[in-house]
A and B are shown apart, each in its own frame.
Chain A
Amino acid sequence: MSKNATACLCLMISIFFISGCWDSSEVNDIAIELAWGIDDAPNQKIRISAQAIVPSKISGGQSDVSSQASKGKPYFVLASDGMNTLDAVQRMQTKLSREMFRGHRRVIVIGESMARRGVKEIFDTYSRDPNLKLRTDIFIVKGDTAQNFLKVSYPLENIPGIGVLGEYDQIGTASREMGLLNFLLAASSDSACPALPVVAIGMDPDVPDEQQGQAQSQADREGFRIVGTAIFNKELKMVGYIDMEKARAMRWVSGNLRKMTVSETLPQGKGNVSMDVIKTKSKINSAYQGGRLKILVTLTGQGAIRENNTNLDLTKTNNISYLEKALNRHAEEVALKTITDVQKEYGTDVFGFSDAIRRKDLALWKSMEDDWKEEFQRSEVTVKANMTVRRIGVTGPSLQLNPNEIKK
């Protein structure tokens, strides 16, 4: 009996050892890749580029040996063509001494030409592969390839891929937004169309977006900026851009904005004001009247006046309400222009109107589900902004003004 038990125990213990550590991999046996580029390649192929970190060149390491070695970029970009993503990855692996580790990818960038070609055929792996996270943000590179974008260094971050994420966060995106997940949700919906942020290489605002990348020499291109939003259609092909101001308005309408600054020139006060708006919300109401869809968008927010270049004394309530009115009118105009532009030019619903209508009025939605695109293009949109000023800062009128200049 005891002999049997011992034998059993030995066998059971040996199971532990023969199975081994088959799926373990040391941190220094993997190539951690943080940003990923998809580009168009000839013959209907795609070019995959990856920005992998070079751990030994990351600064802030422990020993002086590594700081000597940290000359040079802490990342490198490698690219491969392939029939699809995995095919390209396999080809890429021939250039890598370590296994490509994609579990920490934060950023996917898509070159403009690839985006215009459409990404419907290549996007399966990003939701199928268990090693990939859905918490990835996608960007479109304006006027350039993703591969070039990944080569650009960024002054603030070691890894430029992290830099673009930070910029994206700073434009006031709602923190819950995750590019890949939202993209997939919008793509799988019947009516909504995806919209993705657009980045452009270079940081100089004087040069037009398209030429900025080329203006600098290829070697010392540095930095990138978010320039707007790319609009996709239902075939997941990019159809066009809207600029940053409209992109903010679009996010506000679709409820994805966390904060923004609204500025407006006031004719009455001979100057301009700026207000930081927080708690931005939107409400979408719809009705079917006179043979066409009517959509009422109500934008709300609370703000603090941070800059007042007018002669208004903001401690007076009539001045505040005048100011509120002007700012609201400005917000309404921008939002309405954004919506009508998209309606007329692209006819894709990137604002989430369809989902709002379906949630509110299922019968109405059912009646126009089939020709939603036309209904959307024909619809009459009204925007109502309802921001309130909550704080005016620590002074009423500007301190540099003469008391008799101040308008009470």
Chain B
Amino acid sequence: MRIKRRSQSIRDKRANPIDTTHLPSEPHAELSTELSVNEKALREAFQGCSDIVFRPFHTNPKLLLIYTDGLVDTKTLEQVVLKPLLYDGHSAGSASNGIPISGEIIQEQLIAVSQIQTVSTINNVIDGILKANIGLLIDGEHRAIVAELKGFERRAVEEPEAEVSVRGPRDGFTETLRINTSLIRRRIRSPKLKMESITLGRVSRTDIAIVYIEGIVSRTVLDEVRKRIGRIQMDGVLESGFIEEFIEDAPWSPFPQIQNTERPDVVCASLLEGKVAIMIDNTPFVLIAPMTFWTGLQAVEDYYERSIYTTFVRFVRYSLFNIALMLPSLYVALSTFHQQLIPTNLLISIANSREGVPFPTFVEALLMEFMFEGLREAGLRMPRAVGSAVSIVGALVIGQSAVQAGIVSAPVVIVVAMTGIASFAIPRYNFGTAYRLLRFPMLILAGMFGLYGIVSGVFLMIIHLNGMRSFGVPYMSPMVSPVPHTIKDIFLRAPRWMMTMRPAFNAGSNAKRIPEGQRPSPKREEEEGQ
């Protein structure tokens, strides 16, 4: 009974989620014509915010400048606002002519800022100030001027660290939404490129842009993205992962259903395929929806290198991703259940190295896989200076000493090492994690049922993958109903002049990408010349 009561009280708390403490008592209050009233209200709202600067000017009429220190470019502020206001404006306006400066005059003449607007509620003023604008309140006016003077510290555009390529653009997204959108706009100079702006997060008030190309985007996907983002109720959005978890289709699946990327070229390519990008302020990771299984196995460079080489690399990658999933479990299954299937000489070598090893193969493999994951995690989170110690200890302890001491056998170490290499060959990091995760259930199945377990595991995985959708697009598409032209980009990477159509499931009405018959050949050139 007590438990029940407690859960009841929790439910009561949940029922009233709106936390209004950060807003002024009358959020939509109109600005008063009295400056002192407005000032009082704003000071009340910004009480305890030491970074908000109130700068009153005792001119005629009185002015009040409010801005957030650190977000506003103070040098520009001095030059384009304070100087004209205090010297030119004052002398020109009131002293010489005796005409008091009004809001319009300030807006039109004094503030040499490109983005400027007048607002009439206290809430809008607060909003503007927090978004790196300056607020200028004028005595006797019931409106305030909000002008953009952004000047906060921002990281420069650098090479993305998570997605590296040999060939291709080197710029990556930064933490600033505006810089990120500019990187997109520089690549697609079309008014069809739309960026819908949304503010999300009750407390954080984070800017989010839904980016798509009108005429190419699939309307159903776009509507679905809008709907799902509109449903989110959150206090703070700090990373795109916050949003991803709210809008993905199958939250319990190990497979990611929304792609994320740091690279503007990836975003642009996806937009041109009819996908939707979701850009979030304060993170360099942009979400792309819908995602399919195969995009998880495609790297950026696939589209920059020549197609023959890329096709080869894709085959290597597909083999490696099967190794990453199944090699340890295959080893366990073969060496404990189906010794007949191992070539004789190999079996003798395995038997030789397993001599005197105290653990069953399954436990051995599980142990080593676990240690490998531990090593990877430790190496990832360690400070750089300590990182080398981890790798030395890992290589010595796991690689050599364990084998020499006869605690694990050498083949298991080799298998784990090969699996490790293979799992890092999956180009999308979060897609690779799915496989690293699934390796363990596969290992357990193999340890209990041998090949039968592996096959059932693979079947379950295939069933799961085929049942999944990302924003209405089947996860395995286009392989769910392969049409010749769509699989040109799955197992192969056809030359660009052959891929004339956009992926069928993403594209709306505008499925044609490029006109046909562009295959380069010297003969055609001659014909054109004649």
Contacts of B353 in A (CB 8 A): 61-62
Contacts of A32 in B (CB 8 A): 339, 347-348, 351
Mark each residue of chain B from 182 to 203: 1 if its CB lies under 8 Å from any CB of chain A, else 0.
0000000000000000000000
- Of all chain B residues, the one with the shortest Cβ separation from A132 is B340
If A56-B355, A61-B353, A104-B340 touch, whether A19 touches B448 (CB-CB below 8 Å) is yes
Would you call B357 an interface residue if the criterion is a C-beta within 8 Å of the partner chain's C-beta atoms? yes
A55 and B351 within 8 A (CB) = yes
Would you call B436 an interface residue if the criterion is a C-beta within 8 Å of the partner chain's C-beta atoms? no
Bound: A156/B234 CA distance, A: 74
Bound: A133/B355 CA distance, A: 25
Our count of residue pairs bridging A and B at CB distance below 8 angstroms stands at 82
Within A107-153, which residues are at the interface with B (CB < 8 Å)?
Answer: 131, 133
- Of all chain A residues, the one with the shortest Cβ separation from B337 is A24
Would you call A404 an interface residue if the criterion is a C-beta within 8 Å of the partner chain's C-beta atoms? no
Would you call B77 an interface residue if the criterion is a C-beta within 8 Å of the partner chain's C-beta atoms? no
Bound: A342/B155 CA distance, A: 93
Bound: A63/B410 CA distance, A: 10
Contacts of B355 in A (CB 8 A): 28, 55-56, 66
Contacts of A26 in B (CB 8 A): 335-336, 354, 360-361
Would you call A5 an interface residue if the criterion is a C-beta within 8 Å of the partner chain's C-beta atoms? no
If A55-B352, A66-B352, A103-B339 touch, whether A27 touches B448 (CB-CB below 8 Å) is no
Bound: A24/B336 CA distance, A: 5
- Of all chain B residues, the one with the shortest Cβ separation from A104 is B344
How many of B's residues come within 8 Å of A, CB to CB? Answer: 28
A34 and B337 within 8 A (CB) = no
- Of all chain A residues, the one with the shortest Cβ separation from B355 is A56
Bound: A19/B352 CA distance, A: 30
Would you call B356 an interface residue if the criterion is a C-beta within 8 Å of the partner chain's C-beta atoms? yes
Tell which of B336, B357, B406, B447 has the most Cβ of chain A within 10 Å.
B336
- Of all chain B residues, the one with the shortest Cβ separation from A63 is B404
If A53-B348, A55-B348, A56-B355 touch, whether A27 touches B361 (CB-CB below 8 Å) is yes
Within A32-68, which residues are at the interface with B (CB < 8 Å)?
Answer: 32, 34, 53, 55-56, 58, 60-63, 65-66
- Of all chain A residues, the one with the shortest Cβ separation from B361 is A26
Would you call B103 an interface residue if the criterion is a C-beta within 8 Å of the partner chain's C-beta atoms? no
Mark each residue of chain B from 346 to 368: 1 if its CB lies under 8 Å from any CB of chain A, else 0.
01111111111100111000000
Contacts of A175 in B (CB 8 A): none
Contacts of B352 in A (CB 8 A): 55-56, 58, 60-61, 66
Would you call A346 an interface residue if the criterion is a C-beta within 8 Å of the partner chain's C-beta atoms? no
- Of all chain B residues, the one with the shortest Cβ separation from A158 is B348
A62 and B344 within 8 A (CB) = no
A104 to chain B, nearest CB (A): 5
Contacts of A61 in B (CB 8 A): 352-353
Within B398-415, which residues are at the interface with A (CB < 8 Å)?
Answer: 403-404, 406, 410
A28 and B347 within 8 A (CB) = no
B348 and A62 within 8 A (CB) = no
A138 to chain B, nearest CB (A): 17
Contacts of A133 in B (CB 8 A): 340
Within B423-462, which residues are at the interface with A (CB < 8 Å)?
Answer: 447-450
B490 to chain A, nearest CB (A): 34
Bound: A106/B340 CA distance, A: 11
Bound: A234/B254 CA distance, A: 64
A184 to chain B, nearest CB (A): 19
A101 and B339 within 8 A (CB) = yes
A21 and B336 within 8 A (CB) = yes
Contacts of A21 in B (CB 8 A): 336, 362, 447-449
- What interface size band does chain A fall in? 20 to 34
Tell which of A19, A20, A25, A131 has the most Cβ of chain B within 10 Å.
A25
Bound: A56/B348 CA distance, A: 10
Bound: A16/B352 CA distance, A: 31
Bound: A158/B335 CA distance, A: 22
B340 and A23 within 8 A (CB) = no
Contacts of A158 in B (CB 8 A): 348
Bound: A133/B353 CA distance, A: 25
Bound: A58/B362 CA distance, A: 24
Within A320-374, which residues are at the interface with B (CB < 8 Å)?
Answer: none
Contacts of B448 in A (CB 8 A): 16, 19-21
Of the residues B354, B404, B450, contact of A24 by C-beta under 8 Å: B450
Of the residues A55, A56, A106, contact of B344 by C-beta under 8 Å: A106
B29 to chain A, nearest CB (A): 48
B337 and A30 within 8 A (CB) = no
A23 and B348 within 8 A (CB) = no
Of the residues A19, A20, A131, A159, contact of B340 by C-beta under 8 Å: A131
B361 and A34 within 8 A (CB) = no
A344 to chain B, nearest CB (A): 42
Mark each residue of chain B from 284 to 326: 1 if its CB lies under 8 Å from any CB of chain A, else 0.
0000000000000000000000000000000000000000000
Mark each residue of chain A from 92 to 109: 1 if its CB lies under 8 Å from any CB of chain B, else 0.
000000000101101000
B351 to chain A, nearest CB (A): 4
- Of all chain A residues, the one with the shortest Cβ separation from B445 is A16
Tell which of A28, A101, A133 has the most Cβ of chain B within 10 Å.
A28
- Of all chain A residues, the one with the shortest Cβ separation from B364 is A26
Contacts of B403 in A (CB 8 A): 62-63
B447 and A104 within 8 A (CB) = no
A62 and B337 within 8 A (CB) = no
Contacts of A20 in B (CB 8 A): 448
Of the residues B336, B362, B449, contact of A27 by C-beta under 8 Å: B336
B402 to chain A, nearest CB (A): 12
A53 to chain B, nearest CB (A): 6
Question: What are the 4 closest A-B residue pairs judged by CB atoms, nearest first?
Answer: A103-B340, A55-B351, A24-B336, A56-B355
What are 29 A-B pairs with beta-carbon distances under 8 A?
A: A21-B362, A21-B448, A23-B450, A24-B337, A25-B339, A26-B354, A26-B361, A27-B335, A27-B336, A27-B350, A34-B344, A53-B348, A55-B348, A55-B351, A55-B354, A56-B355, A60-B349, A61-B353, A62-B410, A65-B406, A66-B355, A103-B339, A104-B340, A104-B347, A106-B344, A131-B340, A133-B340, A159-B348, A162-B344
